[in-house]
Structure 1
């Protein structure tokens, strides 16, 4: 390809920033990052923003290489045949390669009253909207957090540590990823903070009103403020643009993260569904995926065969207020093990992880190509899952999509 190659990255989160920084390794590549905000959102701190303990943003100058062009805008449509984008502002932008890293957000709760009366907490704007609502609520008013995953646990603990009376409604298991030992440690910490945990199928939310949350077993929990952290959704940009997606709307790719529809489109982060087997939503997955997506583009530009996904996990980190936390360790195939670190040591390690994430992005900005966790061996479990999928035939793949 003669002249400069224009690569556009849609999405300035963990995956998008990693990909954009890495793509600058070649002098003949121009990199444009499109993001609706002028600052990087440190999403793992949104629960802190909601209660006023952090602003959850980092200036792009700290994590984005100077040579990357930042366009503060959204994308309305991808013209795949024409290799162009229609921006939310009405402008257009062409590309030679596209990195689709639009991230994820809140899902439509589909529970009566939730859209009207509950406050989601998956984006900067949602956290900023929630913060004054919590500030305005009386200190003794009950707050209900819906969702027993990491975001729900962290939000409930953060609020309780501030002296709030908190109900945590799981609708299933508390911390479903956690090993039973880790789950018990989290439950003990929440109990010490005064959080009332409602777990199990009877605790599924059936209705949200302005002043209460109703559960499947008929219980009604008073709730001056209801925070909704359950569910997971992705933007429908790929689907609207005619690209193949899974049922949730994640872009379907092969194991090099290349779209099944066009080799000039690669995906990374929460909105990618490689081989119909997407990875767990986390910055732990997003940054290696961003690096892999960039390497796929760079390999094609060099006339080389791109490498395939080789993702490994170490576990899950959950803050339990500012004073305690838990680091749940896992096997490389992302299955929790009995070992964890909790208490004050867990809080310190969790904080180090949050700081480390930003430092890794900044390091890649300074020295593109220095990040290497996406090349750590350990993808055997994924290979077995892919073989099982192929052995099950096209019907299984169609159900997954």
Structure 2
């Protein structure tokens, strides 16, 4: 009789779905995906949920393989010794291997008043909660977006294009990832849309009230609706379960994405910290880490040594309303270069990226394992060597199974 292997994937985002689908390559593997929501959320489109131009949800039947069992629920604890997870409902799901892909969400705002009076939008539920608040506010009401990363820029542009009066508070530089040339292009588009952009060291938010935002330079901005887009955090599930994490709470792994504590636990996506040198949070890394985490599990099932992780970046894509956008090209090690694509072509490329990312999930569901190559960041090896004192970047050390 063929022995079956039970694999549980926690988290049904880009990384978790890719991992779950990839695992179905083997007929003797049973895959269970546990996710708090019954539908897949396109996090790339959350700013559109806020602006009312997209629902940002996809039926899991469109992106999950038929052999993946979906359990709608929240995992409250991982029992590594007993190889099982506990659900908020009180149920328990056992596993032979576990893929930890819980993703990321809003950071706890330490700025006085931010938790009470500002609206984060890092999750689908948060974006949904903000939508009726904006609908209830007069069209002329002052809207302040705090944070000038992609989420802040996209949200500010989306709302300004609908006629809202928007101020974008950077707390530093606009679009920190962008090359100066790309940054100038973004600034120009925001100006066209009427967004007031506040940059520099005096633009850090020091307090948020019901109807104002105070800055470090002493300025106070009237704000009927304050939107908080700065910073991300990860769920504390790994910490609560007694697993080793980095300072942010991401699961510490080696370069095969295997937990430093347990060879049967593998991490992927925003909640993974390979060699304590995590990749940039986002779908670009998640879509690559998910299937590689699955390959690590499949290798162990087959009695083979897993391959080390390989992730490369093409750049950063930002929408600037429905009619413009920018794709900031980058080196494979995620460093921006002079080249960018802006304007209408940038918007079309952004929309292509959103649609193609979902298509990748569906393609993996239909034909798991079709993609067998990954972009390589050759500079990561040097970072690892420097971190380890010139020790070679090897795969997982032997740990008790």
Same fold (TM over 0.5): yes
Deviation at 1:371, TM superposition (A): 2.7
State the match for 1:383 in structure 2. 381
User: Is the 8 Å Cα contact of residues 160 and 195 (structure 1) preserved in structure 2?
Assistant: yes
State the match for 1:205 in structure 2. 205
Aligned length: 391
State the match for 2:274 in structure 1. 274
State the match for 1:330 in structure 2. 330
User: Is the 8 Å Cα contact of residues 327 and 340 (structure 1) preserved in structure 2?
Assistant: yes
Q: Gaps (5+ residues) in structure 1? A: 394-401
User: Is the 8 Å Cα contact of residues 291 and 371 (structure 1) preserved in structure 2?
Assistant: no
State the match for 2:110 in structure 1. 110
CA RMSD of aligned residues (A): 1.1
1:143-222 → structure 2 map (5 Å cutoff): 143-222=143-222
Counterpart CA distance in 1 for 2:284 and 2:375 is 15
Deviation at 1:392, TM superposition (A): 7.8
Deviation at 1:303, TM superposition (A): 1.0
Q: Deviations over 1:250-286 (max 9, x none)?
A: 0000000000000000000000000000000110000
Counterpart CA distance in 1 for 2:25 and 2:341 is 38
Structure 2 residue 373 is matched with structure 1 residue 364: no
Counterpart CA distance in 2 for 1:342 and 1:281 is 23
Structure 1 consecutive aligned stretches of length 4 or more whose deviation exceeds 2 Å: 375-379
Counterpart CA distance in 2 for 1:8 and 1:392 is 36
Deviation at 1:378, TM superposition (A): 2.2
State the match for 2:120 in structure 1. 120
User: Is the 8 Å Cα contact of residues 360 and 371 (structure 1) preserved in structure 2?
Assistant: no
Counterpart CA distance in 1 for 2:241 and 2:259 is 13
User: Is the 8 Å Cα contact of residues 213 and 222 (structure 1) preserved in structure 2?
Assistant: yes
1:2-401 → structure 2 map (5 Å cutoff): 3-372=3-372, 375-391=373-389
Deviation at 1:2, TM superposition (A): 5.8
Q: Deviations over 1:170-223 (max 9, x none)?
A: 101110000000000000000110101111121000000000000000101110
Deviation at 1:292, TM superposition (A): 0.6
Counterpart CA distance in 2 for 1:217 and 1:379 is 40
TM-score, with length taken from structure 1: 0.96
Counterpart CA distance in 1 for 2:375 and 2:51 is 39
Q: Deviations over 1:97-123 (max 9, x none)?
A: 000000000001100000000000011
